């Protein structure tokens, strides 16, 4: 069975550019989560969706970040404009009941 | 709000021995879940084990067991018969009920090194 799929795996961009991260959750899972991991702040939840509806976006750092889930099999996290402090690993995770299964992550570097 | 504290930044263990990774938590919700994840150097997050707050018995998954002491608010991970492949970062996490259900809060992690 395919796990959570994220693309791209690595992204290097210049400050000010738009970045779009993509996630395909495990089929049948009804919740999707976006996390960010940095050395300084550890793992932080940015936003999560249940049945494609955003439930809690209190972790989204600022208006430059936005997330969508147009259907049960796809979600995007967009950063516009990107800044060097956005450099991190971004994980997508999905769940059905309790445990969350994580994708491989996207390593974002903003120069 | 929920909080997880992992007080051991790093732990060392000899191959084939058991090791306990500490985790204490804080929540005001009566219903919550506790999780452990493994993050090897390759970066992926691997789900290991789950314990619900109302579960009467400690959770076990193969060589992993969760020592759940509710009164002490601790949820330590025990790895038996350590293997070299167990060397990784380990995260404890909690989710709670109510409107925050599903939202995982992670600790800072413990780096485990298994020596041959």
pLDDT of residue B86: 98
Instruction: Answer whether A42's CB lies under 8 Å from B109's CB.
Output: yes
* Beta-sheet strands, E only, within A14-102: 19-24, 31-38, 42-50, 53-56, 65-71, 74-79, 88-95, 100-102
The H-or-E segment that residue B25 falls in is strand B24-26
Q: Which residues of A touch B (CB under 8 A)?
A: 31, 33, 42-43, 45, 48, 50, 55-56, 89, 91, 93, 95, 98-102, 104-105, 107
Tell me if chain A has a CB within 8 Å of the CB of B36.
Answer: no
Q: Do B104 and A102 touch (CB under 8 A)?
A: no
B102 and A99 within 8 Å at the Cβ level: the answer is: no
Share of chain A above pLDDT 70, in %: 99
Chains A and B: how many Cβ contacts under 8 Å? Answer: 46
Per-residue confidence (pLDDT) for residue B112, from 0 to 100: 98
The tokens 């789900």 sit on which residue?
A: B47
User: Does residue B108 belong to the interface with chain A, where contact is any CB pair within 8 Å?
Assistant: yes
**Predicted confidence band of residue B2 (pLDDT cuts 50, 70, 90):** confident
Confirm if A84 and B36 have CB atoms less than 8 A apart.
Answer: no
| Euclidean distance between CA atoms A11 and A107, whole angstroms | 6
Q: What confidence category does residue B101 fall into, taking pLDDT thresholds of 50, 70 and 90?
A: low
B47, B94, B64: which is closest to A26 by C-alpha? Answer: B47
CA distance to partner chain A, nearest, from residue B60 (Å): 14
Q: Tens digit of pLDDT for each residue in A31-76?
A: 999 999 999 999 999 999 999 999 989 899 889 999 999 999 999 9
**B98 pLDDT band (50/70/90 cuts)?**
low
For the purposes of burial, counting CB atoms within 10 Å of the CB of A71, is it exposed (0-12), middle (13-18) or buried (19 or more)?
exposed
Q: Is 70 exceeded by the pLDDT of residue B8?
A: yes
Question: What residues does A13 pair with on adjacent strands?
Answer: A110
pLDDT averaged over chain A? 95
* Yes or no, beta carbons of B108 and A95 under 8 Å apart: no
Burial label, B83 (beta-carbon count in 10 A; 0-12, 13-18, 19+): exposed
Inter-chain residue contact A100 with B104, CB threshold 8 Å? yes
């Amino acid at each position: 069975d395919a796990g959570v799929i994220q693309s791209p795996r690595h992204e290097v961009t210049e400050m000010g550019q738009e970045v779009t991260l993509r996630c395909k959750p495990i089929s049948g899972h009804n919740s999707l989560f976006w996390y960010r991991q940095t050395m300084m702040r550890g793992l932080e939840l940015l936003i999560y969706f249940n049945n494609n509806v955003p439930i809690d976006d209190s972790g989204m750092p600022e208006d430059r970040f936005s997330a969508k889930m147009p259907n049960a099999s796809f979600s995007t996290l967009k950063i516009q404009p990107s800044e060097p402090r956005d450099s991190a690993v971004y994980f997508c995770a999905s769940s059905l009941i309790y445990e969350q299964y994580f994708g491989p992550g996207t390593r974002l570097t903003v120069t | 709000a929920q909080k997880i504290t992992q007080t051991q930044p790093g732990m060392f263990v000899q191959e084939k021995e058991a090791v306990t990774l500490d985790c204490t938590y804080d929540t005001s919700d009566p219903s919550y879940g506790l999780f452990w994840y493994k993050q090897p150097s390759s970066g992926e997050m691997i789900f290991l084990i789950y314990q619900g707050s109302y579960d009467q018995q400690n959770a076990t998954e193969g060589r992993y067991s969760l020592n759940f002491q509710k009164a002490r608010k601790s949820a330590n991970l025990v790895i038996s018969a350590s293997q070299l492949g167990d060397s990784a970062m380990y995260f404890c996490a909690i989710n709670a009920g109510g409107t925050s259900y599903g939202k995982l809060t992670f600790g800072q992690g413990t780096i485990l090194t298994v020596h041959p």
